Structure 1
Amino acid sequence: MFCGDEREPHPLHKKPLCQEKKSSFRFWFHFLVLFCLLILYLFYTMCNNTQSLREGFSLQKTFSWLFVQTPQGNAPPYRVHLKHRLMLNDIHEKTEPHPAQQQRLQYHEAYPHNYRFVMDNPEVCKVNLPFLVLMVPVAPKDVLARDAIRATWGKDRVVQGETVLTLFVLGLSGGIDVKELQQENQQHNDLIQSNFLDTYLNLTIKTMVIMDWLATRCPAAAYAMKVDSDVFLNVDNLVIMLKKPGIPQKNYLTGLLKGNVPVIRSKDSKWYVPKELYPDPQYPTYTQGMGYVFSNDLPAKFVEVSKSIKPFNIEDAYIGMCIKNLGLSVTSPPDYSQFRDYNTRYDRCEFSKIITYILDSSEQLIDYWTDYKKPGPHCLDKL
């Protein structure tokens, strides 16, 4: 019987050898196909799991999420801050470079060009060229803080005859209704949002994004101020100070000066900074972050120098490092007593003389401002 013979063999006869070979070939062929598919499936699963595990372990480290190795084109790799996309779960991280490469790295984590604006008002400086721009870093969810400022010291567009602009700077945050933010911005035209993750540890990035906005959207303004949302700001006194004869129009940075401040190494502290981020025992002299004022030529210089300065999470001290690396220095205000941090009690006369005071809440700001703005002299003559 030949292999091509289609007649059925007798049940007692054995199958021809070539037919047995065909059956065996089919079996092994099907087995190999299934085996290859299984290998591809396992490889795909392992790749996904490896990525998830690597991200999970990395995010458990206190500061490891601050850095990612990102090569661009043919340029040597440099370390940049993790780029947070609009989908907050889309966090990508690669392994740290070999220690031998560390000396060749340029530090770009806080360089604002790593990020982009997802909500912007670039035209606000073109409508009325401001003398002073007040930039307020605030969390996306802090609507009460923004509304309190809009109703108090951020309300007036003209102060002492000068145009003053107040803007709020936000990052990204989970659980925030994007449409509500867009509606708020359509109503007030004062929100600027960038795609970094809005956290306390990212305040340095937030500050550099502020500098980038001033340098690219509002370069013709004379002065600017980074001022926290929990501050009572006497804008009248601030404008009066900036219009005094002798106030520099370039390379000027002033506020409540801090010198010989030691770096906190205790991990239990809110202001803990590891040696890996800042090795020196003390910070350079800087202006306290509650509110510092600067000539508007400085933001572009801060942006440029930030490319080569390793960032750490104390944003005001980081600006001090930028000033130092630029070969400049901070300047004492004409009246040092006008920049205050914490107040023990409200005094209408006292608040009429200062520029900054840190408050406890937005409600306190409204209460103090309401009393401060009521008719009558702020200071009563003592008998």
Structure 2
Amino acid sequence: MVTVLAGSAGSIVNLAPNFTWNVNSSRDLAIYVDPVNTTAVITNEYLCASNPTDDPPKPILLIIVCSAVGNIKAREAIRETWMSLEPNKTTPFDVRIAFLLGQTVNDTRQNDVLMESNLYGDIIQEGFIDAYLNLTLKSVMMLKWVKTYCPQVTFVLKTDDDMFINVRTLTEYLSQSHVQQRKDLIVGSLFCRVSPIKDAGSKWYELRNLMAIVGQKYFHLTGYVLYSPHFMYNGKVYPDYVSGTGYVISGPLVPILFEGALHVPLFHLEDVYTTGMVAKQANIIPENSNLFSFVKHPTSNPCLYRKIITSHGLNPIELKSIWERINDPHLDCTSVRLPKIGDPKFKKCHKAARLTVHRGGRRGWV
């Protein structure tokens, strides 16, 4: 484990753990997360406090946007767009939104984070180094924070700072009676039977190492690379999981997943780890809704953006542009034929069809 002293407002506040992708690194997540003690530098502990205007109080939908310290423009764009929209007053949810950051050893950037937090009051900062290979730590720290400061939450949406989130469609989706009653829900864009790349000679191996060097920006350019060295995962396929670009989990599942993560060896792909490996250990099956997307929908179709819940890979300029267009009062989508997104109902991964050869040479799929 690599540790560095992390400063906050000119003083040393704690040790910020950093997971290193090495065969000799400990994968005991409890070492990095510290389940007993407070690890947050900026706690924002009153984010889920009761709203006195709600009588009776509404159930809480908490949206946590995982963001990097330096992605200030991305956070500003979100505040000016989908984060600024008050859901329909008839929604049964009280929506709370915050950005989750790790730490930086750059004192100037850390002071900028503190100023941003004081200005907007929407920052949670945990005590680990904000780096690509620490994305799993960030997701588990999210579970820890919710368990500690927002135990009454009904649903949590985990997403990233390059995402468009349709809060109104999301609340409508979660308001369905069969969804709202769920206590064991993990839902998003489902991946089934994904095979890890274990060949050290593969070009994807080289890309993964480059990503570890140049960071998240390169990751967006190269796409999803599921390389995993054999010492970290020796299975033929990953457990079914949902894309980390945006997924919802039931509030009652949060402490279960957090406690489970303390007993599952740390793995560098956060969505595979949290919604796949840890969920499997807790006997939770992730589910699919095609309203969630891990790809970028065409920004030329604002009517589509009125219908979906998530779209991935938008830069701040694109996010502001599509937001302005979908909120144009003159935009008429009634006669627009939208492309089929898919059945928004839950569906599960099915066994893959297997080609067999029967007696007599007859071939068929089973």
Q: Distance in 2 between matches of 1:145 and 1:201?
A: 20
Q: CA deviation at 1:275?
A: 1.3
Conserved? CA contact 1:359–1:365, under 8 Å = no
Q: Which residue does 2:98 correspond to in 1?
A: 167
Q: CA deviation at 1:359?
A: 2.7
1:196 equivalent to 2:134? Answer no
The number of aligned residues is 292
Amino acid at match of 1:330: P
| Structure 2 counterpart of 1:180, from 97, 109, 112 | 112
Q: Distance in 1 between matches of 2:109 and 2:328?
A: 37
- Describe the superposition over 1:12-56 as per-residue Cα deviations: whole angstroms up to 9, x where unpaired: xxxxxxxxxxxxxxxxxxxxxxxxxxxxxxxxxxxxxxxxxxxxx
Conserved? CA contact 2:293–2:312, under 8 Å = no
1:229 equivalent to 2:177? Answer no
Conserved? CA contact 1:121–1:192, under 8 Å = yes
Amino acid at match of 1:269: L
Q: Which residue does 1:121 correspond to in 2?
A: 44
**Aligned with 1:133: secondary structure?**
strand
Q: Which residue does 1:371 correspond to in 2?
A: 325
Q: Alignment RMSD, CA only?
A: 2.7
C-alpha change, 1:110 and 1:311, in structure 2 (3 Å) is farther
Amino acid at match of 1:356: T
Conserved? CA contact 1:112–1:205, under 8 Å = no
Q: Which residue does 1:37 correspond to in 2?
A: none
**Aligned with 1:216: secondary structure?**
helix
C-alpha change, 1:348 and 1:107, in structure 2 (3 Å) is closer
Output aligned runs, 1:106-145, within 5 Å. Answer: 108-109=30-31, 111=33, 113=35, 116-128=39-51, 131-145=60-74
Output aligned runs, 1:206-225, within 5 Å. Answer: 206-225=138-157
Q: Distance in 2 between matches of 1:262 and 1:312?
A: 15
Conserved? CA contact 1:108–1:310, under 8 Å = no
1:324 equivalent to 2:253? Answer no
Q: Distance in 1 between matches of 2:317 and 2:182?
A: 36
**Aligned with 2:30: secondary structure?**
coil
1:148 equivalent to 2:77? Answer yes
1:298 equivalent to 2:253? Answer yes
C-alpha change, 1:115 and 1:83, in structure 2 (3 Å) is farther
Q: CA deviation at 1:325?
A: 0.2
Q: CA deviation at 1:312?
A: 1.3
The answer to which of 315-324 and 352-361 deviates more is 352-361
The answer to which of 337-346 and 360-369 deviates more is 337-346
Conserved? CA contact 2:32–2:137, under 8 Å = yes
Q: Which residue does 2:300 correspond to in 1?
A: 346
- Structure with greater helix share of residues: 1
Q: Which residue does 2:237 correspond to in 1?
A: 282
C-alpha change, 1:340 and 1:139, in structure 2 (3 Å) is closer
Q: CA deviation at 1:112?
A: 5.1
C-alpha change, 1:382 and 1:207, in structure 2 (3 Å) is closer
- Describe the superposition over 1:285-328 as per-residue Cα deviations: whole angstroms up to 9, x where unpaired: 10101000111111111110111111111000001111100011
Unaligned runs of 5+ in 2: 19-23, 52-57, 209-224, 338-366
Q: Distance in 2 between matches of 1:283 and 1:308?
A: 18
Q: Distance in 1 between matches of 2:230 and 2:38?
A: 26
Amino acid at match of 1:373: N
Conserved? CA contact 1:133–1:224, under 8 Å = yes
C-alpha change, 1:158 and 1:92, in structure 2 (3 Å) is closer
Amino acid at match of 2:44: N
Q: CA deviation at 1:281?
A: 2.5
Q: CA deviation at 1:249?
A: 2.8
C-alpha change, 1:197 and 1:232, in structure 2 (3 Å) is same
Q: Distance in 2 between matches of 1:198 and 1:107?
A: 16
Q: Distance in 2 between matches of 1:207 and 1:367?
A: 29
- Relative contact order: is structure 1 or structure 2 higher (C-alpha 8 Å, sep ≥ 6)? 2
| Structure 1 counterpart of 2:267, from 312, 323, 337 | 312
Amino acid at match of 1:374: D
Amino acid at match of 2:324: T
Amino acid at match of 1:134: I
C-alpha change, 1:232 and 1:217, in structure 2 (3 Å) is same
Q: Distance in 2 between matches of 1:91 and 1:297?
A: 29
Amino acid at match of 1:349: C
**Aligned with 1:237: secondary structure?**
helix
Larger radius of gyration: 1
- Structure with greater strand share of residues: 2
Unaligned runs of 5+ in 1: 1-67, 69-81, 94-98
Q: CA deviation at 1:348?
A: 1.4
- Describe the superposition over 1:244-286 as per-residue Cα deviations: whole angstroms up to 9, x where unpaired: 1211431111000001111123421334321111121211110
C-alpha change, 1:220 and 1:227, in structure 2 (3 Å) is same
The answer to which of 262-271 and 221-230 deviates more is 262-271
Conserved? CA contact 1:254–1:330, under 8 Å = yes
Q: Which residue does 2:172 correspond to in 1?
A: 240
Q: CA deviation at 1:343?
A: 2.1
Q: Distance in 2 between matches of 1:122 and 1:91?
A: 20
Q: CA deviation at 1:209?
A: 0.4
Conserved? CA contact 1:85–1:196, under 8 Å = no
